[in-house]
Amino acid sequence: MKVLAIDDQKLVLIPLEKRLTELGYQVIIETDALKGIELYNLHSPDLVIVDMNMPSISGMEVVKYIRTHKKSSTPIMVLSGNTDDQLIIEGFDLGINDYMKKPLSLNEISARVKRLIGASIEEKDVKATTNNVLIQERCVGVVIPCYNEENRLLSKEFTDFLDKNTGYHLCFVNDGSKDNTLGVLKDIQKGREDFITVYNCEKNGGKAEAVRLGMLHMVKKEDLDYIGFLDADLSTDLTDFDNLVSTIEKSEYKIVSGSRISRMGANITKESARKIISLTINYIIRTILGMNFKDTQCGAKIFDKEVIPLVFGRKFITKWLFDVEIFMRMKRYFGLKKATTLLCEIPLKRWIHADGSKLSMKDSVKIVAQLAKIAWFYRGKKELEYKSKTKSIDYRSVIVDQK
């Protein structure tokens, strides 16, 4: 039996295709709705699964084509994050057979497919699936800068997370490493090319530039809704990062940042001397920004896609304090009052300082000088070159400035 699945987000389609194939169905996937209609005519599937919100034509137009133009009774299931009651009623009036709201487990989707068109193979022959994997409403890119991480990279934690969490695409940026980091990253990517990108910088440019280039590379992927960055040592855990994603998708925030400041019940550890220096530096940062952020330097942040060209379009002027520059650029573009409504800080449940961090105590002293440089560079200026409406940006045309 053939199943045609149409969704503009490939990260949604791949796990769906894998699961239904395990169940013995022949699965055809397509990210373009117009091409999906062509595939419908070519293959005459036994079931069509379609998303509602797609850029070329909507899923409703696909339903209308099948029911009105083709006058076909092919079973149609809608798998969508759109929860508008009127749209759902219209769909059933047109003759859809089921409407599934994201997020939804693959197990439930499989059961609904079986109910509509029957099992493709005997139950005893079905490959056991213990994880109740969810098909998410949103797709997320995560940039992970790596410099000489051959011996610290927790490869299995990354791959296990991808196996259990759909809708994620990891972009590891090799920042001119001198060891075998690139080889380790290639091994992680093997067999997961649809979910893992390795962006290789031949020369070391520092964390700020590695993150910037990775973000500008990922923003060109059309199926991503949000893109963030995370430290390679996983001092911020991937589950905590997913909580940041949940916050931004349910709000109007454009940037959600993690905070390592301790709170009741949190498992946060750090060397006491480093903690004192960090608190002092943070006080200076709050003064410069005019914002009451407790921890601008946390290495876990998630961004609405539309502000990425704004904050990452040009090279940062400092090596370690690009996080401060991100907030400063938001402030200069939107104004202080508006910017504070677009930025959010979420306490992390867990954060552990990892041995081997590249930032030494001596480096911490230099930060004060870099903060003075930021305050001077961004003094009272307005980012006129960014004043085009961000929603009109064609992300595919973003130029990566490596000069």
**Long-range interactions of 378-385: CB distance < 8 A, separation 24+:** 378/325, 378/328, 378/329, 378/332, 381/332, 382/332, 383/310, 383/329, 383/332, 383/333
CATH assignment at residue 193: 3.90.550.10
Q: What is the pLDDT of residues 209-250, one digit of tens each?
A: 999 999 999 999 988 999 999 999 888 888 889 999 999 999
Let me know whether 116 and 157 are in one domain: no
Specify if 366 maps to a domain: yes
Q: Which two tokens stand for residue 393?
A: 């940006």
Q: Is 293 among the domain residues?
A: yes
Q: Does residue 132 lie in a domain region?
A: no
Peptide bond into 103 cis (omega under 30): yes
Of 218-232, 270-284, 325-339, the poorest mean pLDDT is in 270-284
Q: What integer is the mean pLDDT of 23-46?
A: 96
- Length of the chain counted residue by residue: 403
**Residue in the block written with tokens 């400063």:** 328
Name the most confidently modeled range: 9-13, 283-287, 356-360.
9-13
Q: Is residue 279 in a domain?
A: yes
> How high is the pLDDT of residue 221?
92
For residues 319 and 370, is the Cβ–Cβ distance under 8 A? yes
Gap between the Cα atoms of 290 and 296, Å rounded: 12
* Helices within 147-298 (DSSP H only): 155-164, 181-189, 207-218, 238-249, 272-289
Rounded to an integer, what distance in angstroms lies between the CA atom of residue 9 and that of residue 16?
A: 11
Q: Is residue 368 part of a domain?
A: yes
Residue 319 has pLDDT above 70, yes or no: yes
User: Do residues 206 and 181 both lie within one domain?
Assistant: yes
Tell me how far apart the alpha carbons of residues 288 and 379 are, in angstroms, rounded to a whole number: 10
- In this structure, the answer to whether residues 153 and 48 fall within a common structural domain is no
> What are 27's strand-pairing partners?
3
**Residue 191 shares a structural domain with residue 336:** yes
322, 211 contact by CB (below 8 A): yes
The domain in which residue 24 lies consists of 2-125
Note whether 118 and 149 are same-domain residues: no
Is the same domain home to 360 and 213? yes
pTM over 0.85: no
Give the total number of structural domains in the chain: 2
> Cα 152 to chain center, whole Å?
23
Quote the mean pLDDT of the chain: 85
User: Which of 72, 99, 125 lies at the terminal end of a domain, its last residue?
Assistant: 125
Residue in 159, 142, 327, 153 with CA at minimum distance from that of residue 240? 142
pLDDT of residue 169: 96
Flag whether 131 is in a domain: no
Domain annotation covers residue 50:
yes
Tell me if 302 sits within 8 A of 255, measured CB to CB. Answer: yes
Looking at the domain assignment, is residue 90 inside a domain?
yes
For 269, other C-beta atoms within 10 Å of its C-beta total 13
Q: What is the pLDDT of residue 350?
A: 65
Do residue 108 and residue 153 come from a single domain? Answer: no
Residue 53 · residue 81 · CB < 8 Å: yes
Whole-number Å distance between alpha carbons of 158 and 154: 7
Tokens representing residue 11 in the block: 């990260």
Measure the CA–CA gap between 90 and 59, rounded to whole angstroms. 12
Mean pLDDT over residues 105-121, rounded? 91
Q: What is the CATH number of the domain that holds 50?
A: 3.40.50.2300
DSSP strand pairing (267-269 vs 350-352): parallel
Residues 154 and 97 in one domain: no
Specify which of 154-168, 288-302, 359-373 reaches the highest per-range mean pLDDT: 154-168
SS3 174: strand
Q: Write the CA distances from 85 to 53, 89, 90, 403, integer angstroms.
A: 14, 6, 9, 50
Residue 349: predicted pLDDT: 75
Q: Where does residue 397 fall: left (phi above 0), alpha (psi -120 to 50 degrees), or beta otherwise?
A: alpha
Q: Are residues 296 and 167 in the same domain?
A: yes
Cβ proximity of 312 and 215 under 8 Å = yes
- Band of residue 285 on the pLDDT scale cut at 50, 70, 90: confident
Does pLDDT of 386 surpass 80?
Answer: no
